[in-house]
Chain A
């Protein structure tokens, strides 16, 4: 996604778009659900896609913090002799099969738990089985391992059978369900056993091959996670912080302050995103930042500076709506200070829409970083992100498309996961969509 300001469009109508006009200051009424948060959480944890996405993110965060756990090879080690050597397919296939089988076992466990105690795990099991099956199939396909293909197909079929309502009706009753569970467990176990056995026969390492400089792509992808996520999280945090602060001030105090802040917001909003970021980054480029934190800070800054007006608008309309509520009036009547009202009453109640925006924006910002890096003005050595890897690979797309495909698929997957979460959070928090 190249233009994160567009993320605003994912936010429910009425919370974005145009400013609420002065008239609405006076009449804003919004029903307040007392248990919004717990309600939403309850709702979210029952969405399999949300839970799976969260698990993926948790995993990515661990990778970002401790990359050396996942890759032994030094990502910076260059060796032209192995430049653009393709992936180690047998190894990659085996690893995919191991992961797929492991996930299948997890699916079996989830299905068991789901059968015994009704909960989200029951809904998740088919999805997890599906993922496990796809991984096994992928492993089997790239290296033509028939066993993996068979097991993968079986697992995937289990996922489909138990997941699609019309089909799963066939399995009504205990026997059918337990049958599927048993099948998953056996398939997963067998897959694990075979794949681990295969692992001892294949050469280990370089799962994704080497790039144009002879660096290990897998290691670079692993180490690239850090900067990719760092930019995404910091840019989101900064954007939301600036935006919320300005939004609260202008929503709560109104009047000339509101006009002023709104106009300032419009000034930044008026700059097309990519264009603005290029101008900002190239303007500061000559200033000679070349340490990794400085480069990251520059990119984060430029993203936030151009995106905060969106979260400001959202916060502002939420505050305008909330400040008409009785509890705010009551607090004011009791003589609470503005600061107390803002922090104790308004902030907790207006956070929801901003949070929705933040989760969607996170994915968008990760995409934006990649776009900027692709244009050659985002991150760069030593701050290597997936975007930088993609940018480096552009000359080799025809000769070695895998140089692009590996980082691009991780990038896409990560953005997808964040956007999925954003989508789920939005639906959970937006009463209108229930």
Chain B
């Protein structure tokens, strides 16, 4: 197990460098004036020179990147054009995004898994078909349409929620955006749970349990569910990571000042350091969650052993 973890960690390094380098190149090395977004009129040459020195733009891209990486490893995310610490920016934006992602995953787990269990245990029933069709419909709706529908119905017509959240949104304010954010994955979770349960119902260990004369409740609760939840947990875990950065649309529509909004506005204003900083963090989150989930497999599924 220990060796496996170390090997996986070593494997993470090239992936980490590759992804961050890719983003770095996309942000900094492509044609177009990197300062165009900053100087609404043209930048004075002195200022431009100072900026080029500050961001090492006169060096070749590899030197630039590794200088950046070096600073990053010392916890220095760099500064924006207006001299703000990128680390602080991310720190300010992260909590609300994490809460939002957690709420979304909570909805996925709650509604998705429940629907999945119901349908998986009763395949072919009316509920099964209903859930299958409704998940298809949810999957077919782009997230921004769902967001507008929720805003229109809950916000404008029923007046249950505010159209946008306040500057320091509370947990309850984030429920509706969280639901929107999680809606797509909810459908996947339901289908995944359904498939997984349906498969495991025919597995030998379930048959054995039934043959042993265990009560239905115990068969389902302990044997079937526990084993069926493995792929679902994998999915929820990776989703938590990807929702943090993938909430650009939802955050924008509901006026949430989170990581998604930060990175989107930074891309538009060409704030290279912020974009790379956020992406680096998201990649780290993504890689680590993947690793943890792999290890979790071994805990949940006795058939898997890493040596």
Contacts and interface: CB of A to CB of B under 8 A. Distances in A.
Interface string B117-142: 00000000000000000001101111
Interface stretch (A85-93, A148-156, A273-281, A342-350): A273-281
Contacts of A420: 136
Nearest to A432: B199
Interface in B251-270: 252, 260, 263-264, 267-268
Interface stretch (B25-33, B44-52, B56-64, B72-80): B25-33
B246 A272 contact: yes
A249 B249 CA distance: 37
Contacts of A404: 145, 148
Interface string A320-354: 00000000000000000000000000000000000
A278 B19 CA distance: 15
B185 to A, nearest CB: 7
A274 B195 contact: no
Contacts of B27: 279, 283
B275 to A, nearest CB: 7
Contacts of B145: 390, 404, 408, 411-412
Given A1-B139, A9-B192, A408-B145, A273 B23 contact: no
A271 interface: yes
A394 B142 CA distance: 14
Given A272-B245, A423-B136, A10 B31 contact: no
B226 to A, nearest CB: 16
Chain B contact patch, size range: 35 or more
Contact of B242 (A264, A267, A272, A284): A272
A267 B283 CA distance: 9
Interface in B128-167: 136-137, 139-145, 148, 152, 156
Contacts of A129: none
A6 interface: yes
Contacts of B184: 1-3, 6
Given A6-B184, A264-B18, A13 B196 contact: yes
Interface in A394-408: 394, 397-398, 401, 404, 408
A374 B195 contact: no
Interface stretch (A27-35, A137-145, A233-241, A363-371): A363-371
A111 to B, nearest CB: 22
A404 B264 CA distance: 24
A415 B140 contact: yes
Main secondary structure on A side of the interface with B: helix
A98 B137 CA distance: 26
A146 interface: no
Nearest to B297: A18
A140 to B, nearest CB: 24
Contacts of A375: 248-249, 252, 264
A6 to B, nearest CB: 6
A6 B199 CA distance: 21
A311 to B, nearest CB: 18
Contacts of B16: 270
A412 B141 contact: yes
B245 A275 contact: yes
Contacts of B26: 279-280, 283
A397 B286 contact: no
B82 interface: no
A263 interface: yes
Contacts of A387: 142
Nearest to A414: B140
Interface of B: 11, 14-16, 18-19, 22-23, 26-27, 30-32, 36, 136-137, 139-145, 148, 152, 156, 184-185, 188, 191-192, 195-196, 198-199, 231, 234-235, 242, 245-246, 248-249, 252, 260, 263-264, 267-268, 275, 279, 282-283, 286-287, 294
Given A17-B234, A284-B30, 10 more contacts: A2-B142, A2-B143, A13-B195, A272-B245, A279-B23, A283-B32, A363-B140, A371-B142, A371-B249, A416-B139
8 smallest A-B Cβ distances: which pairs? A286-B32, A267-B18, A416-B140, A415-B140, A272-B245, A270-B19, A2-B143, A266-B15
Interface of A: 1-3, 6, 9-10, 12-13, 17-18, 263-264, 266-268, 270-275, 278-280, 282-284, 286-287, 363, 367, 370-371, 374-375, 387, 390, 394, 397-398, 401, 404, 408, 411-413, 415-416, 419-420, 423, 432-433
27 contacts: A1-B140, A3-B246, A6-B185, A9-B192, A13-B199, A267-B15, A267-B19, A271-B19, A271-B22, A271-B23, A271-B279, A272-B242, A275-B248, A275-B260, A286-B31, A370-B142, A371-B249, A374-B249, A390-B144, A394-B148, A398-B152, A398-B156, A412-B137, A415-B142, A420-B136, A433-B195, A433-B198
